[in-house]
Amino acid sequence: MSDHLTYHTRFTPAEFDEQYNLRAGRPDYEETVIPGWSADSEAARNMLDCSLDIHYGDGANQKLDVFRCGNASAPTLVYFHGGYWQRGDKSIYSFIATPFVAADVNVVIVGYDLCPSVTITRISQEAREAMAFIWQNASDLGINRHRITVMGHSAGGHITQMMMATDWPAFGANLPSDLIKAGIPVSPLSYLEPVRLTEALNAGIRMDPAEAEAESPMVNHPPVTNAPQLVVVGGAETDEFHRQACMYVQAYGGAKRSVGLYTVPDVDHFDELNVLVDPTSPFFSYACHMLQGKGPNL
pLDDT digits (tens, 9 = 90+) for 106-142: 999 999 999 999 999 999 999 999 999 999 999 999 9
Q: What is the mean pLDDT of residues 246-268?
A: 95
**Domain, as residue range, for 113:** 7-291
Establish if 272 belongs to a structural domain: yes
Q: Is residue 2 domain-resident?
A: no
Tell me the per-residue pLDDT of 14-63, one tens digit each, with 9 for 90 and over.
777 789 988 888 889 889 999 999 999 999 999 999 999 999 999 999 99
- Percent above pLDDT 90 for the chain: 86
The number of distinct structural domains making up the chain is 1
Mean pLDDT of 266-277: 97
Q: What is the pTM of this model?
A: 0.95
SS3 for the chain is: CCCCCCHHHHCCHHHHHHHHCHHHHCCCHHHHHHHHHHHHHHHHHHHCEEEEEEECCCCCCCEEEEEECCCCCCCEEEEECCCCCCCCCHHHHHHHHHHHHHCCCEEEEECCCCCCCCCHHHHHHHHHHHHHHHHHCHHHHCCCCCCEEEEEECHHHHHHHHHHCCCHHHHCCCCCCCCCCEEEEECCCCCCHHHHCCHHHHHHHCCCHHHHHHCCHHHHCCCCCCCCEEEEEECCCCHHHHHHHHHHHHHHCCCCCCEEEEEECCCCCCHHHHHHCCCCCHHHHHHHHHHCCCCCCC
Residue 296 belongs to a domain: no
Query: Which pLDDT does position 298 carry in this prediction?
Result: 63
Question: Is 4 a residue whose pLDDT tops 70?
Answer: no
- pLDDT in the model for residue 86: 96
* Burial zone of 93 (CB within 10 Å; 0-12 exposed, 13-18 middle, 19+ buried): buried
69, part of any domain: yes
**pLDDT value of residue 24:** 80
Does residue 1 fall inside a structural domain? no
Average pLDDT, the chain: 94
Question: CA quadruple 75, 248, 239, 86: dihedral positive or negative?
Answer: positive
CATH of the domain at 174: 3.40.50.1820
Residue 199, in any domain of the structure: yes
